[in-house]
Structure 1
Amino acid sequence: MQSLSERVSARTGYRLVGDLAWNWCLSHDQPREHPTAVWTDGAGGEVLAWGWLELPDGLMLQVDPGHPALAGEVLAWAEGIAPGVLNVEVCQTETVLVDALVRRGYAPKDGPFMVCLGRSLATPPEKVELPPGYLLRGLDGPEDVERRAAVHRAAFGSTRVTGARHARMMRTWPYDPGFDLVVEAPDGEFAAYCQGWYDQVNRTGEFEPVGTHPDHRRRGLSRAVCVAVLHAFAAAGGERAVVYARGDDAYPVPKRLYESMGFTVRARTLTYTRPV
């Protein structure tokens, strides 16, 4: 699945290799809720399409634009497993998928959406000085995993990221500890973090995810750690960076943060729904 992402995401700006690693580590222990299927060329084993359900009603998919008929096959597979309402999020750049959804009677759905932002790494923003007592660093090893998971849970109000899941992510390609940076607070707890993924083939770095503990917000910590990861991408030979953020007015702060670092909107997501 990641091999297809390497080939396709450079054109679409969506579903990068890091996205798949991140989502897999959140769902690997729930195979019944997250069935997947892969289509190959049958000869060399090259992956041409994949589908990834998030039951009961969500579908992620990616299709090689050179094989547009496979989009219908992936949708038929998903419809056979989830026969009720099915919501499919795609990027507006994925015209093969949009066309397939419309042909099968799916309709666009109003509501929250994501924007795909990008920027060149030729000249990263200047590094940010942290408030007194805060320290920006990488993870020291297994002893940091639980604190790293805890700051994510606090930032997003979610229980999905556990120490075990983050530890698995650290063993999943293309994870690199040089792109997983944190800000340590004066009390030793983690106050903010930026998880970076680097696609060496396309020389593209991605943020997924970024968060700040509610007790440490409005101190410039997210900006500082994100800028540090941008510099790490550039030092690795990266040419561009991407990040997804909510694009609707209900949740504007992350988008404003990224735009303040030189990111600009390249595209947005669309959600199509198949009614019962």
Structure 2
Amino acid sequence: MTAIMRRYAGPADLRAMQELTGRVWSPASPQHVGDLAWGRFMYTPEVADWPIALWEDGGRVVGWAWANLPGDLRLEVDPARPELLGEVLAWFDEQAGGGVRTVTPLDNQADVRAALTRHGYELQEGGPCFAPHARSLRGLPEPVLPEGYTARPVRGAEDLERRVAAHRNAWNSSRVTTESYRAVMAAWPYRPGLDWVVEAPDGEFVANCHVWYDDGTRVGLIEPVGTVPSHRRRGLSRAVCLAALRALRDAGGGMAVVSPRGDEAYPVPQMLYRSLGFRPYARTLTYVRTGSP
């Protein structure tokens, strides 16, 4: 049957996109349902108003494309509908307006890589990459914190401002705001019991780890993690991640995944996750196309 393409129209469409992503998820998948929620709501609408298209067949989403303009594409296509890959890439050509286009599939996505090659993309060697890691939730160590620090989940709206401040201070970024994080908290599958912080003796939130849990796959995605610079090198990132992972296990999760940088230029996050028992299962590759379609 023919799939019909249409533009993204609101939060109900995001849930339909997540339904596809959860339905086809495997340890070889580049996306998790939490990636979509975080990517859509981490910034306010005027900042995050990127073109998104959905392909539907019989009322069910069988593919989606998300253009982070000027030239980056995220996509998900049902493996049973590989013919849609060409349509997705043609749509991206239109959105990019003939500029440089970049797609970063996992090295295990042979179908996507082949479609990119057919469409005129070339593999670029070197440069930054991301390396998805996974671990089971068996045998998690106890978190260990310095004296006076405590780890706990956020308490909803009463912690909103401090939670946002922790993220902004850890990442030196002003794009996540109380408005945008309020939308994150309202999005599926956010759970406050999986949004953990470390509280310093003076009450400041100085580290955080959030886990997005898809109970359909029993897989949780760690995104994001951060520690305020003045409190680093005290084991806080490790402790807050372990606390969040243990909460994920208690919620019924069986596996956790995370996608740190995988290149030598930014090794610290990967070192942290490997010390927690995560192991890599793929890496991203960079495909680039220049010129008009």
TM bucket normalised to smaller: over 0.9
Task: Please list the CA deviations of residues 80-123 of structure 1 after superposition, one character each: whole Å capped at 9, or x if unmatched.
Answer: 11121111122122222111111111012231000000011122
The answer to whether the Cα contact below 8 Å between 2:100 and 2:288 also exists between their aligned partners in 1 is yes
Please tell me whether the aligned partners of residues 22 and 214 of structure 2 are also in contact (alpha carbons under 8 angstroms). Answer: yes
Answering whether residue 86 of structure 2 is matched by residue 72 of structure 1, we say yes
Question: Partner letter of residue 117 of structure 1?
Answer: H
Aligned counterpart, 2:168: 153
Q: Does 1:18 align with 2:31?
A: no
Q: Deviations over 1:212-249 (max 9, x none)?
A: 00010010111111011111111122111100000111
Moved more, 232-241 or 246-255: 232-241
What is the CA–CA distance in structure 1 between the aligned matches of 2:252 and 2:123, rounded to whole Å? Answer: 39
Query: Is 1:90 matched up with 2:105?
Result: yes
Provide the C-alpha distance between the structure 2 equivalents of 1:27 and 1:39, rounded to a whole number of angstroms.
Answer: 25
Q: Distance in 1 between matches of 2:44 and 2:200?
A: 32
Q: Which residue of 1 aligns with 2:8?
A: none
**2: CA distance between counterparts of 1:205 and 1:241?**
5
Name the CA shift for 1:156/1:235 in 2 (closer, same or farther; >3 Å).
same
Counterpart of 2:75 in structure 1 is 61
Partner of 1:241: 256
- The answer as to 2:252 corresponding to 1:256 is no
Question: Of residues 106, 120, 137 in structure 2, which corresponds to 1:105?
Answer: 120
Question: Identity across aligned pairs (percent)?
Answer: 50
> How far apart in 1 are the matches of 2:29 and 2:134?
9
Return the offset for 1:33: 4.5
- Structure 1: state its 5+ residue gaps: none
TM-score (norm. length: structure 2): 0.90
User: What CA distance in whole angstroms lies between the structure 1 residues aligned with 2:132 and 2:175?
Assistant: 24
Shift of 1:24: 0.5
SS of equivalent residue, structure 1 residue 131: coil
Give distance in 1, aligned partners of 2:49 and 2:212.
25
Deviations 1:138-194 (A, max 9, x none): 112213112111111221222221111111000000000111000011111111000
Match of 1:37 in 2: 53
What is the rounded CA distance, in whole Å, between the counterparts of 2:202 and 2:287 in structure 1?
46
Query: 1:11 and 1:128, CA in 2 relative to 1: closer, same or farther beyond 3 A?
Result: closer
Instruction: Number of aligned residue pairs: give it.
Output: 273
* Correspondence 1:135 to 2:160: no
Q: 1:189 aligns with which of 191, 204, 214?
A: 204
Matched, 1:49 2:63: yes
Give me the whole-angstrom Cα distance separating, in 1, the residues matched to 2:36 and 2:113.
21
Q: 1:8 aligns with which of 24, 45, 53?
A: 24
Q: Distance in 2 between matches of 1:192 and 1:104?
A: 43
Give the equivalent residue in structure 2 for 1:224.
239
Richer in strand (by share): 1
Over 3 Å counting, the alpha-carbon distance change for 1:188 and 1:31 in structure 2 is: closer
Contact 1:192 1:225 in 2 (8 A): yes
Question: TM-score, normalised to structure 1's length?
Answer: 0.95
The 2-side partners of 1:28 and 1:95 are apart by 35
The residue type paired with residue 132 of structure 2 is C
Q: Secondary structure at the match of 2:65?
A: strand
Deviations 1:6-61 (A, max 9, x none): 022225232100000000003560388501000011x2x12111000111111111
Asked whether the 8 Å contact 1:33–1:55 carries over to 2, the reply is no
Amino acid at match of 1:252: P
